[in-house]
Amino acid sequence: MSDDLALMDAWKRGDTSAGKDLFERHFDCVFRFLSRKIDHGAEDLVQQTFVKAIESAARFRGDCGMRSYLLAIARNLLIDHFRARAGDRFNPEVDSLVDVGVSPSTWIARQQDNKVLLATLRQLPLSAQTILELYYWEGLAGEEIAVVLGISPHTVRSRLVRARAKLRTLLGEFEDKVVDSTATELSEWAARLAALRAASAPNSSEDLDAEPNV
């Protein structure tokens, strides 16, 4: 939002109410991002994200949106979290959440078909899972995704295509377990999961076979 930069500047000058406003404005987005990837402790990582944000505020010039800035910090903390758990062997480009022992969270486990879908997503490498979530759940543009992942905007499109292809392949392996015939449409899946979390899902009618518009 347009006044995020003003709030950040005020926070840097010691205005705690500005920091509170930023926290309340962006908490839900950061929490969703983290809670899809860890079963416990998402709140602690959210707190750490905002602490890191103010610690590195001198480097924030408003070249990217506040949401992208915070999600980039959250992603780095998440990688550190998994490396502490699994050792430096964890590589987000290769390793999935399943590789480090993360299971579908309890709120999803109560929904049998969604359990299969989220479990499938968590078998993707973390970077692939993240790019799909940022695009479909959070509705980030290519430039914003590039900031979060630390890659060029040109690379975002090709990585998104590859991530969707990997997801499609994994979903095919679970075909007999997926009850809903539309389950392989990622935009439908995102909307259904978001509804369970009482969150807003991006409006999209794209099929998995369509090229992403980033």
Sign of CA dihedral 166, 109, 97, 134: positive
The reported pLDDT for the residue numbered 62 is 64
**29 and 6: one domain?**
yes
**101 and 184: one domain?**
yes
**164 and 208: one domain?**
yes
**83 and 61: one domain?**
yes
**98 and 192: one domain?**
yes
Q: What is the CATH number of the domain that holds 24?
A: 1.10.1740.10
Domain end call among 90, 118, 135: 90
Average pLDDT value for the chain: 77
- The count of domains in the chain is 2
The reported pLDDT for the residue numbered 73 is 95
**195 and 181: one domain?**
yes
pLDDT digits 0-9 by tens, 103-153? 645 444 444 545 666 777 888 999 999 999 899 888 899 999 999 999 999
Structure tokens given for 173: 């392996």
**211 and 119: one domain?**
yes
Angle at 148 between CA 116 and CA 195, to 5 degrees: 35
CA distance 146 to 162: 16
**70 and 115: one domain?**
no
Q: For residue 130, what are the domain limits?
A: 91-214
**138 and 212: one domain?**
yes
Domain end call among 90, 116, 148: 90
> CB 64: neighbour CB atoms within 10 A?
16
**196 and 124: one domain?**
yes
**211 and 108: one domain?**
yes
CA atoms within 13 A on the CB side of 99: 16
DSSP assigned state of 96:
B
> Mean pLDDT of successive 10-residue segments in the chain (214 residues)?
77 86 91 86 92 81 82 94 82 86 52 62 90 88 93 93 87 54 51 48 41 64
Domain end call among 32, 55, 90: 90
